[in-house]
Amino acid sequence: MTVSDHSYEDLLKKAENFVRDHMAGYDPSHDWPHVDRVRRVAIRIAKTLEPQPDMLVVELAALFHDLDDKYRTESSPTLSDLLSPFLSHPCLTSNQAELILKIIPNISYTSEIKSRSKNQWTWQDECKELFAVQDSDRLDAIGSIGIMRCSAFSCKINRKLLHDNEDDGHGAEDHFEEKLLKIRDRMKTPFGREEAERRHQTMVSFLESLQKEKELLQ
């Protein structure tokens, strides 16, 4: 093993290449550029936090965040098997590796609700590394990029764009009420809250404009 095999850069490059390959077949709502945006914004958020979170943990958790069970089938390896070549890298301590493995399944709002329902103070309520990745992933679902991802995902699942009044069929536009307009109130960091407010207003004006366009159809 050469010196460079022991560097952070080596670990991050290997992780990045692995995730790039892994996401290659996914639609634009969950592709490599989504992961890359989540990684970059997570780092921005983490830098604003005091005390500063472990940046390597933030970056790796962001890179791996969508390798969770969303796309998993019966035969898929477990997250820890999938990540073991990276988590056993000489740059990473076992505590860091454990934290990354703990963060990934706890990013989604659904998992947050589950841990809340147990009604006790848990590590999830104070983990700054988790907050940075969580807020970043949530920000990517709202604002202009969020609007585009919502269209992309709807296309992938063959969901119509607009609400169909005739048979009360739900379309992509309904996803704003279902979820996207609620995200602003679920942010964990001051940076996340401020950016979410701006992105929220973008969605509100988009929806107002969409209503005007729909009025022409009546």
Residues of this chain that bind Ni ion (CB under 5 A) = 66, 137
List the single partner that 19 binds among ligand ADP, Ni ion, none, CB under 5 to 8 Å by kind: none
Residue in 139, 172, 187, 203 binding ligand ADP, rule: CB under 6 A: 172
Token pair 């404009």: residue? 209
Beta strands in 19-60 (DSSP E): none
**Least distance from ligand ADP to the Cβ atom of residue 155, Å:** 9
Using CB under 6 A as the binding rule, whether residue 133 contacts ligand ADP is answered as: no
Give the DSSP letter of residue 53. Answer: P
Backbone angles phi, psi at 169, to 5 degrees: -75, 130
Which of these ranges, 10-18, 42-50, 112-120, 144-152, lies near ligand ADP under the rule CB under 6 A? Answer: 144-152
CB nearer to ligand ADP: pick between 89 and 149: 149
DSSP string computed for 20-61: HHHHTTS-TTSSHHHHHHHHHHHHHHHHTSSSPP-HHHHHHH
**Least distance from ligand ADP to the Cβ atom of residue 141, Å:** 4
Using CB under 6 A as the binding rule, whether residue 124 contacts ligand ADP is answered as: no
**Euclidean distance between CA atoms 137 and 134, whole angstroms:** 5
DSSP string computed for 155-167: HHTT--SS-BTTT
Token pair 């659904």: residue? 110
Site for ligand ADP in 16-35 (CB under 6 A): 29-30
Residue in 153, 181, 186, 207 binding ligand ADP, rule: CB under 6 A: 153
CB nearer to ligand ADP: pick between 10 and 163: 163
**Least distance from ligand ADP to the Cβ atom of residue 137, Å:** 5
Q: Torsion angle of alpha carbons 20, 26, 28, 31, nearest 10°?
A: -20
**Least distance from Ni ion to the Cβ atom of residue 62, Å:** 9
SS3 label, residue 169: strand
